A and B are shown apart, each in its own frame.
Chain A
């Protein structure tokens, strides 16, 4: 299994501010993924973070709002920019080390925007 940690685990932020979420994996992985889970909802993929290249965003998500960094093969950050209450969600990072394996999820960052 993969051990994934995220920081912060939760935060309460004011609208208009930005928050950077960190994701650390215990082994090198090619791709890291960022998902959002809005309250009471399912998970939606935000973007795929590739080391050494720009992140790939899913429809409805843009780089200006969710800039992503991937400086090495074990670490990524997701920034939620210019936050509004609609950004209140759980943000989870995920990795898939092996096609025969499952995809592992981090513990999540619970964000509340006031």
Chain B
């Protein structure tokens, strides 16, 4: 059974700082996804990582995948308040298993 663990679950950052969210998964996975969820909203797709060593960047967010370590990271560079949200990673092929989510708060 695929299990996905994220850490930290809660993250309070200052604007301008850098931080990394970690996502570990227990068994081989075809793909690794990162999503953002704002309060009361659905999921917004950020990245899908398809192979070992994959790195994708969009604005202040960069995601990477190490399939040998079964680890993905979401790195936040120079955080701004607009990044405050809950971030989920999910692993699997088409049937996704989600991590618990990381609730990120960026403080001025």
Interface residues of A, Cβ cutoff 8 Å to B: 31, 33, 42-45, 48, 58, 92, 94, 96, 99-108
**Residues A45 and B45 in contact, CB atoms below 8 Å apart:** no
Q: State A45–B96 Cα separation when bound (angstroms).
A: 7
For A105, list chain B residues within 8 Å (CB).
Answer: 35, 42-43, 45
**Residues A92 and B42 in contact, CB atoms below 8 Å apart:** yes
Interface size class of chain B, counting residues whose CB lies under 8 Å from the partner chain: 20 to 34
**Residues A102 and B45 in contact, CB atoms below 8 Å apart:** yes
A31 and B94 in contact, given A42-B88, A42-B101, A105-B42 (Cβ under 8 angstroms):
yes
For B31, list chain A residues within 8 Å (CB).
Answer: 99
A33 and B45 in contact, given A42-B100, A42-B101, A103-B33 (Cβ under 8 angstroms):
no
- Nearest first, the 8 closest Cβ-Cβ pairs linking A and B are A102-B45, A102-B48, A105-B43, A42-B98, A43-B98, A108-B42, A107-B42, A96-B94
Partner of B45, one of A44, A104, A108: A104
